[in-house]
Chain A
Amino acid sequence: GENVEQHPSTLSVQEGDSAVIKCTYSDSASNYFPWYKQELGKRPQLIIDIRSNVGEKKDQRIAVTLNKTAKHFSLHITETQPEDSAVYFCAASIGTGGFKTIFGAGTRLFVKA
Chain B
Amino acid sequence: GAGVSQSPSNKVTEKGKDVELRCDPISGHTALYWYRQSLGQGLEFLIYFQGNSAPDKSGLPSDRFSAERTGGSVSTLTIQRTQQEDSAVYLCASSLVPGYRDRGTDTQYFGPGTRLTVL
What does the 1/0 interface line of B27-60 toward A look like (CB < 8 Å)? 0000101010000011111001010010010110
Known pairs A46-B107, A106-B42; A100 contacts B91 (CB<8 A): no
Q: Is the CB of A101 within 8 A of B45?
A: yes
Q: Is the CB of A43 within 8 A of B111?
A: yes
The answer for the CA separation of A1 and B58 in the assembled complex, in Å, is 10
Q: Is the CB of A100 within 8 A of B41?
A: no
| Minimum CB distance partner of B59 in chain A | A100
Provide the main secondary structure of the chain A interface.
Answer: strand
Give the B interface residue count (CB, 8 A): 26
Residues in B neighbouring A98, C-beta threshold 8 A = 48, 50, 53, 56
Out of A43, A99, A102, which one reaches B31, CB within 8 Å? A99
A96 at interface, CB cutoff 8 A: yes
The answer for the CA separation of A55 and B43 in the assembled complex, in Å, is 25
Q: Is the CB of A100 within 8 A of B110?
A: no
**Distance to closest chain B CB from A30 (angstroms):** 13
| Minimum CB distance partner of B6 in chain A | A43
**Distance to closest chain B CB from A27 (angstroms):** 13
Q: Is the CB of B58 within 8 A of A34?
A: no
Residues in A neighbouring B108, C-beta threshold 8 A = 34, 36, 46, 101
Residues in A neighbouring B107, C-beta threshold 8 A = 34, 46, 49
The answer for the CA separation of A32 and B106 in the assembled complex, in Å, is 9
Q: Is the CB of B43 within 8 A of A99?
A: no
The answer for the CA separation of A93 and B107 in the assembled complex, in Å, is 12
Interface residues of B (CB under 8 A from A): 31, 33, 35, 41-45, 48, 50, 53, 56, 58-59, 91, 95, 98-99, 101, 106-108, 110-113
